[in-house]
Structures are given as structure tokens and as C-alpha cells.
Amino acid sequence: MQHYNMNLTLKVWRQKNAADKGHFETYPVKNISSEMSFLEMIDVLNEQLIKEGKEPIAFDHDCREGICGMCSMYINGRPHGPWQHNTTCQLHMRAYQDGDTIVVEPWRANAFPVVKDLMVDRSAFDRIIQAGGYISVNTGNAVDANATPIEKDKADDAFAAAACIGCGACVAACKNSSAMLFVGAKVSHLALLPQGSPERKSRAVNMVAQMDKEGFGACTNTGACEAVCPKGISIENIARLNREYMMAGLTEDK
């Protein structure tokens, strides 16, 4: 693949905190390598801003390997940028051409308040997990891996659901800021496995209740969440969540 350098114009959202109104600022960046990642490009811009005595752009990141889900930002209106099944840190500048203008914003959702600039508070997801995204585990020696037989199709579906990294792209893409794909993936992962059976009913009820408490919107099945998910989580998990929630209500102890 041919390597090339480019000059770009970045329009970046700057916001001091959740109470600040926020605004876009425009920055030229020059001699950006096509082989840089998007976050490396922002690193270059931040070095430039620091040399000019200006405040660098705050953005979230950790692993830079597409695992942690922290690099959450809109790029030209699309969560994580133009590539499919891709996080922002995995997006490379060869996706753009010399002279392009790139607009970068934080997630836009009431449940994800802006911390600063491109950083948002996604702790609402943590509280949803705390409400029911766990299983009962006995202390003592670890159980042999093959001691509990699991049908392959269920194991495959559970593994696919477990691939969710909780980045929040599904919320950002949804016109209602719904978290149903995230919650559906987390509920499905455990509901499909025998280890998740003890909390199966309470899990669906409690996680949905916490999701509503956090202020996420309702699902209207537009499929935007699946389209932008960096791990390709299927909206079938939303249907499974609805079934789990309904069955928990029908079989609730009176």
C-alpha cells in the first residue's frame, strides 16, 4: 500500500465541562502520514497546540488496540469514523485524502454527559452492569473447562454477544440514544450459558430498570446501532433481551 502525507483541516468540538455550551474550533494539521492512526494524528495536533501555548484536546483512550472501547467520538457524523467494524484507534489516516476537512465531536446523549472536549462520562454503562451483569460463582477450585456441556450454537452466540466492548457507539448512532444493543448483548451473553441461569430473571429486569433510570431512550428498531457497532453485535440480541424481560415478568414470583 502506497504511503503518502497529507494536509488536513480539523473542526474539533471544544467544551470545558458538562455545564459549558461548547463550540467548534478549526485547526490545520500538516504532513500527516497516511499510516498514522486517527488518535496518533490527534497526538500530533496536541503537540502542536502545546508548542503554541494552547490547551490540548482532551480525548479518551487506553489500549489503542480496539479492545477497551474508550476512543469514543463522532468523525464526520459517524461513530468511530467511516470504516466498518472499527474503533477510532483502529482507523488509519489512509481513509482520507489531502485537503480533506474532518469534523470530530463527542458522543451526543443525555446519559453520556461531556467531561471535556471529546471525553464523555460512560459510567452509566458500568451501573447497568452492576445492576445484573454478573453470575454466581462458588469459591474453591476452578471447574474443569468441559465439565458443563454447552451446545455449540449457543456457545457461538454467547461468544459473539460477549464481544461487545461497551464503547457506546450504539447509543451515539441511535436517534433515541437507546442502550438496548449494549444491554441486549450483556444479557444475551449470560442468558445463553448455564452459568448465567441463577440470576437469569433478575438480570433482565434489573438491567433494563437501570438502563431506564440512566435516561437512555427507547428502541424503535432502525438498526443504526448494529450498523456502527465496531464488533458487529447483532440486533438479534435486542430481540433476545425483550424475550428474557417478558419471560421474567410472566414467571415472576407473586
DSSP, collapsed to helix, strand or coil, labels residue 234 as coil
CATH number assigned to the domain comprising residue 165? 1.10.1060.10
Q: What element of type H or E holds 226?
A: helix 224-228
CATH number assigned to the domain comprising residue 98? 3.10.20.30
- Per-residue pLDDT tens digits for 31-48: 999 999 999 999 999 999
| Per-residue pLDDT at 62 exceeds 80 | yes
Q: What element of type H or E holds 224?
A: helix 224-228
Domain termination site, one of 88, 115, 142:
115
Phi first, then psi, for residue 115 (nearest 5°) are -85, -50
Going by pLDDT thresholds of 50, 70 and 90, the confidence category of residue 117 is very high
What predicted TM-score, i.e. pTM, was given to this entire model? Answer: 0.93
Q: Are residue 78 and residue 160 in the same domain, yes or no? A: no
Domain termination site, one of 96, 115, 134:
115
Q: Are residue 151 and residue 108 in the same domain, yes or no? A: no
User: Which of these, 230, 39, 155, 234, lies nearest to 47 by C-alpha position?
Assistant: 39
- Per-residue pLDDT tens digits for 79-105: 999 999 999 999 999 999 999 999 999
DSSP string covering 118-179, please?
Answer: TEE--HHHHHHHHHH------SSSPPPTTSS---HHHHHHHHHHHT-----HHHHHSTT-B-
Q: Are residue 86 and residue 159 in the same domain, yes or no? A: no
- Per-residue pLDDT tens digits for 47-59: 999 999 999 999 9
Range of the domain at 171: 123-250
CB contact at 8 A, 24 and 48: no
User: Which of these, 129, 124, 136, lies nearest to 187 by C-alpha position?
Assistant: 129
Q: Rounded CA gap, 191 and 142, in Å?
A: 21
Domain termination site, one of 94, 115, 136:
115
Q: Are residue 154 and residue 189 in the same domain, yes or no? A: yes
Q: Are residue 130 and residue 244 in the same domain, yes or no? A: yes
Q: Are residue 14 and residue 44 in the same domain, yes or no? A: yes
Letter for the amino acid at 34?
S
